[in-house]
Amino acid sequence: MTARTRLVGLALAVGLSLVGSSCFAQSAVSVQLRWLHQFQFAGYYAALNKGFYKDVGLDVTLVEGGPNVSAIDQVLQGRAQFGVSTSGLINAYQNGKPVLILAPIIQHSPLVLLSLGKDKTNPVEIAKAGTISLQPGDESLELKAMFINEGIPLSKVNITTDSQGLPDLLSGKIVAMNAYLSNEPFWLEQHHIPYSVLKPGVYGMDFYSDVLFTSRDFNNAQPKAVGDFRAATIKGWEYALDHQDEIIGLILAHYNTQGKTREQLLYEAKVLRQLISPDLIQIGHSNPSRWLHIAEAYSDQGMLPEVSPLIDTSLKGFLYDPNPKSFDLSKLYMVLAGVLCVTAAITGVAVYIHRLNVKLQANEKRLQLAASVFVHASEGILIAEPDGKIVDVNEAFVRITGYDRDDVLGHTPRLLKSGRHDAEFYVQLWGALIQAGYWAGEVWNRRKSGEIFPAMQYISAVRDDHGELRNYVSLFSDITERKEMEGHIRYLAFYDALTLLPNRRLLDDRLAQAVAASKRSDCLCALMFLDLDNFKPLNDTYGHVAGDLLLVQVAERLKNCVREIDTVARFGGDEFVVLLNDLSANQHEARSMTEMIAAKILTALSEPYSLSVRSDLHVEHQCTASIGVTLFNGRDAEFDELLKQADAAMYRVKDAGRNAIRFHDEQQKVLVEPRG
């Protein structure tokens, strides 16, 4: 590989990473809940109030649902980016709607058929007893399917969709009603009224409930936002289920639109935790076979499209893939790793081993070559039995992991497990091995010393001529240097290499974030354009080393003058930009706060600088600055226009004598001198 090829590859990787890197701005998205606020949506409250959404750059609004609100319509019509709905999403998909399932939150539906007393113990007894109240449309589909599965045609069941619920049940107008295990039973228990429930899951209709979804269009447009939102939501649910008392307090304080008591919410939390089963099942796990089973229930109800009554068993575009195979930054970095770390010979080895594993042709020549590869390959190679026990490793494995061969023989690859991957990661990995016989991707492993390291890993299932599984073969390489380079590339994309301040690209993102926040709060923000006075003579006299030392110290002083919510960026040369967020909705107050911070900056920058240019040259220098300021809110000018306004105000300061500030809207010469 020539030096020119390496440079072209590196330039391509850097350029594409700059284009593909996500913005640091807070992206505003909304979530349409399927019902009124209660513990049923605790994970979303936790993710919002614990900052999990904010941590991934999302500004999330939760929209309360109700009896006449369709989350599917809200999302597909663009009024919300995410929604929470029922397993009825499979019906929407089969009818051609572009819904995308992100995570079924409740693994076992809380929907039950509730009756009074203890005498109605099966669907036949319920059907014979009298009128049953169900929800219209497909809301009670799993209850209807329960009767059908028991051989009871719905035409033989007296069903009403016009009922007052519990009042009608208590008065005897109906003998059973659809209910939630987490709601109605609480009231009956509080009043010591005996009751019975029929669970559809017992009769083969175990549907998902409270399924988080989005539209395929939004996922195509904002794939990172979708992935980040899903991960933050799952994290929120994990937190909510482990901190129930805290989240119930949050609901009582901010989300209790139904006026529920703490006891009601505790009951709901207990029941939902059992149905979510987080100790056994990864939150958000989605089983394709189970979805097809649900689709069959819709088919039995005649709810599939008339044009094509057959079930689409491919589920293409219906289930979200957290590890898509499409080209993204991770694959781009894999290309970079290939250019920087993997030689053409090793790539040939990996391809050869894969082909050998897929179609084992046991001729002597290939066996000899495989043995040579095993011994001399620079990648670690591990061979395991079908039960996972390791039967051999090569020298590269020993060198990379620190484990001797005798340390690992008879053990499973779990001894390399780092703890950084969740259960869903391994579900995807084993799913690929079982279905395709091959998996490749990045994984975090643990050395014998306890150190965690990143690896690029290939795993193949080796079968004999009869299709029987013989071994698993894993080939991996340590990509620590590549990961460090990725981090450096990301850093260079958004930060100034000299001062370590945000650069123009990151400033644009922060400015967009400030505008969006200002629209919501009506608070003013300020943009300062700052230029050092008489900077060029220092460079001309002592060289650029002295100028760079000064810029680094200026950057530190600027950061010490502003708040954590503010941004200091280097615009270029000796020009800096300071963005002040969330000042005040009052124009006068915002202006006063800005003047105070600007005066503090002028004072700090006017203090003497000590510059060690060389071991034999120490320079004492004093410097001042000219600052132009423009105030704005979410309805004001475009980004470039704001920068022009602040820049123009700064040049008026230069013309008037320097070492002062000036606002864009000032008609007369109004200067603020630094405080002594």
Parse the chain into domains and list their residue ranges. 24-108+209-300, 111-203, 342-478, 495-663
Q: Which CATH number applies to 24-108+209-300: 3.40.190.10, 3.30.540.10, 3.20.19.10, 3.30.830.10? A: 3.40.190.10
Residue 334 has pLDDT above 70, yes or no: no
The pTM score is 0.48
CATH of domain 495-663: 3.30.70.270
Contact assessment for residue 480 and residue 453, using Cβ atoms and an 8 Å cutoff: yes
pLDDT of residue 51: 95
pLDDT at 673 (0 to 100): 42
Whether 99 and 80 have beta carbons less than 8 Å apart is answered as no
The answer, yes or no, to whether residue 426 has pLDDT greater than 90, is no
Q: Counting Cβ atoms within 10 Å, is residue 657 exposed (0-12), middle (13-18) or buried (19+)?
A: exposed
What pLDDT score does 666 carry?
59
Quick one: DSSP state of residue 33?
Answer: -
Q: Indicate if the pLDDT at residue 20 is higher than 50.
A: no
Same topology between domain 24-108+209-300 and domain 111-203: yes
Mean pLDDT over 575-584 rounds to 92
| 600 token code pair | 């503090």
pLDDT of residue 468: 84
18-22, 28-32, 470-474, 638-642: least confidently modelled range: 18-22
Identify the sign of the CA torsion 424, 426, 427, 433.
Answer: positive
Residue 136 is predicted with a pLDDT of 78
Task: Show the tokens assigned to 295.
Answer: 């689709």
CA distances from 246 to 107, 254, 266 (A): 23, 12, 11
Q: What are phi and psi of 342, to 5 degrees?
A: -110, 125
What digits encode the pLDDT tens for the residues 505-525? 888 888 888 888 888 888 899
Half-sphere exposure of 57 (CA within 13 A, CB side): 16
Indicate if the pLDDT at residue 12 is higher than 50. no
Closest CA to 187 of 168, 166, 173: 166
pLDDT tops 60 at residue 115: yes
Please state at what angle helix 535-542 crosses helix 544-561, rounded to 10 degrees: 140
Based on its alpha-carbon atoms, the radius of gyration of the chain, rounded to whole angstroms, reads 32
> Does the pLDDT of residue 567 top 50, yes or no?
yes
pLDDT for the residue 116: 93
- Predicted local distance difference test score (pLDDT) of residue 203: 76
**Which of 256-265, 283-292, 304-313, 474-483 has the least mean pLDDT?**
304-313
Provide CATH code, domain 111-203. Answer: 3.40.190.10
Q: Would you place residue 354 in the very low, low, confident or very high pLDDT band (cuts 50, 70, 90)?
A: low
Give the residue-averaged pLDDT of 431-459: 88
Average pLDDT, the chain: 83
Half-sphere CA count of 654, side-chain side, radius 13 A: 13
**Measured between alpha carbons, how far is 396 from 455 in angstroms, rounded to an integer?**
13
> Per-residue pLDDT for 22 more than 60?
no
Largest CA distance in the chain: 102
Cβ 459 vs Cβ 439: under 8 Å: yes
CB 34 within 8 A of CB 85: yes
Q: What's the rounded mean pLDDT across residues 288-316?
A: 68
- pLDDT value at position 177? 94
Mean pLDDT of 360-372: 53
Which residues, at least 6 apart from 70, have a Cβ–Cβ distance to it below 8 Å?
Answer: none
Which residue's structure tokens are 């919300």? 80
Q: Which of 5-19, 48-62, 290-304, 662-676 has the lowest mean pLDDT?
A: 5-19
What CATH number does the domain located at 342-478 have? 3.30.450.20
Is residue 366's pLDDT more than 60? Answer: no
